[in-house]
Amino acid sequence: MASLTFFLIRLMPGSPVEAYIANLVSQYNLSHENAQAQAASLFSLDLNAPVYQQYLEYLGNLVRGDLGESLVSRGVPVSEIVMAYLPWTLFSIGTALIISFSVGIMLGMLMAYKRESKLDHILTNLGSIVSSVPDYLMGILILVWVGVQWELIDVTNMRGTLSPGVQPGLNLTFIGDAFYHASLPILTYVLGTIGLWMLTMRGSTESTLGEDYVTVAKARGLKERRIATAYVGRNAALPPFTQLSISIALVFGGSLLIEWLFVYEGLGYLLYNSIQQRDYPVMQGVFLIITTMVIVANLLADLLYSRLDPRIRVAGRD
């Protein structure tokens, strides 16, 4: 992944590095060598070295956590900027995925237990509607209707990640304020993903209900509630869980639009800004971190899955 970003930024025709050098030469009348030296220090690359050596050096810097410096805020390391924005994205996306997954599979189970009822039809249709309309459009709908037309919430006040004056710390004001500012992005992420869990869980619960072990459990006279949680729920939640990794990547990607929409200062917002300002080192850094987050989240999901499904633990990969 690091390799991809490297080659993307470094080797593309009209690459940012070249553009930056050309810009320095024409704007500040620097000689090509001087400009190149400056660009090299900014991107933390040695431009005179052969490409493979640059690549190795880039990887080396990466391992030490050195992502170069921002072009716009001179002298500020990219890693510092990225680390300041990262927690907010992790917080909002993490909370949203936990809420949407748990509520989604509960609703999905409910739908399967009451299948062909009115409730089931309503929830199935709602689920397919929210999962087919793009999440950012739902975000705009929330802003336009709840914020502007009905004036139920003060949208401009909810922008940013914290209200002015609130300091991070382990107190209720901070936690409350963090949730207040993250609530609209979280709501949008939940709406955007919950339909998938509901529909997958409905399907898998339906097929689990027909399994022999459920019939046996019923015959043994176990309580309905225990069958629903320990027998049906636990097994039926596996298929939606496998889809978690795919939607982690989608939600992280979608944060670009959602955070821009709600002016929520996380990684997506940072990425948008750095693209607008053509701040290539920051762009490169954010992209790398988002990708790393997706990979780490996938690994965690895989680990959790092997806890949930003992068959995977014993048999290894296949």
Partner 1 sequence: MAATTGESRFRDSVVGRVLAWFGSTLKLMARNRVGFAGFLVVSTIVLVTFIGPIFLPSEQEVDVSEIYETPSWSHPLGTDSEGKDVLVQVIDGGRPILIIGFLAAAISTTIAVSLGSLGAFLGGRTDTGFTWLADMVLTIPQLPLLAVLAGILRLNSKIAVAALIGALFWPTLMRAIRAQVLSLKERDYVESARALGLGTPHIVFREIAPNMAGYIAINFTLAVTAGMYAVVGLTLLGLVPLSENNWGVMINLAWTRGAIFSKDSVFYIMAPIAAIALFQLGLVAMNRSLSEVFDPRLRRGA
| Cα gap 292→260, rounded to integer Å | 21
| Cα gap 288→67, rounded to integer Å | 10
Q: How many chain residues touch partner 1 (CB under 8 A)?
A: 45
Q: Which is nearer to partner 1, 205 or 247 (CB)?
A: 247
Burial degree of 23 (CB within 10 A; 0-12, 13-18, 19+): middle
Q: Which is nearer to partner 1, 144 or 175 (CB)?
A: 144
Q: Which is nearer to partner 1, 122 or 216 (CB)?
A: 122
| Cα gap 98→196, rounded to integer Å | 14
What is the smallest separation between the CB atom of 228 and partner 1, expressed in angstroms? 28
Is 291 an interacting residue with respect to partner 1 (CB under 8 A)? Answer: yes
Identified binder of partner 1 from the candidate list 149, 165, 167, 170, rule CB under 8 A: 149
Q: Which is nearer to partner 1, 16 or 77 (CB)?
A: 16
The length of the chain, given as a count of residues: 318
Which CA distances in Å does 148 have to 87, 154, 186, 271?
A: 29, 9, 19, 27
Which CA distances in Å does 96 have to 112, 151, 188, 247?
A: 24, 24, 8, 12
Contacts of 267 (CB under 8 A, 6+ apart): 82, 85, 86, 88, 89, 255, 259, 286, 289, 290
Contacts of 293 (CB under 8 A, 6+ apart): 86, 89, 90, 252
Residues 85-124: x where in contact with partner 1 by CB under 8 A, - otherwise, as a string: ----------------------------------------
Identified binder of partner 1 from the candidate list 96, 190, 209, 294, rule CB under 8 A: 294
CB 168 within 8 A of CB 176: no
Is 305 an interacting residue with respect to partner 1 (CB under 8 A)? Answer: no
Which CA distances in Å does 166 have to 32, 155, 170, 176?
A: 48, 18, 12, 10
Backbone angles phi, psi at 69, to 5 degrees: -120, 155
Identified binder of partner 1 from the candidate list 30, 86, 133, 166, rule CB under 8 A: 133
Q: Which residue has the tokens 């298929």?
A: 239
Is 260 an interacting residue with respect to partner 1 (CB under 8 A)? Answer: yes
What is the smallest separation between the CB atom of 216 and partner 1, expressed in angstroms? 28
| Cα gap 154→140, rounded to integer Å | 14
Is 295 an interacting residue with respect to partner 1 (CB under 8 A)? Answer: yes
Is 132 an interacting residue with respect to partner 1 (CB under 8 A)? Answer: yes
Q: Which is nearer to partner 1, 132 or 167 (CB)?
A: 132
Q: Which is nearer to partner 1, 216 or 304 (CB)?
A: 304
Q: Which stretch binds partner 1 (CB under 8 A): 21-29, 47-55, 167-175, 278-286?
A: 278-286
Q: Which is nearer to partner 1, 77 or 285 (CB)?
A: 285
Kindly list the residues in this chain that would bind partner 1 in the complex (CB under 8 A).
1, 4, 8-9, 12, 14-16, 128-129, 131-134, 136-137, 140-141, 143-144, 148-149, 155, 246, 249-250, 252-254, 256-257, 260, 268, 271-272, 275, 278, 283, 286-287, 290-291, 294-295, 298
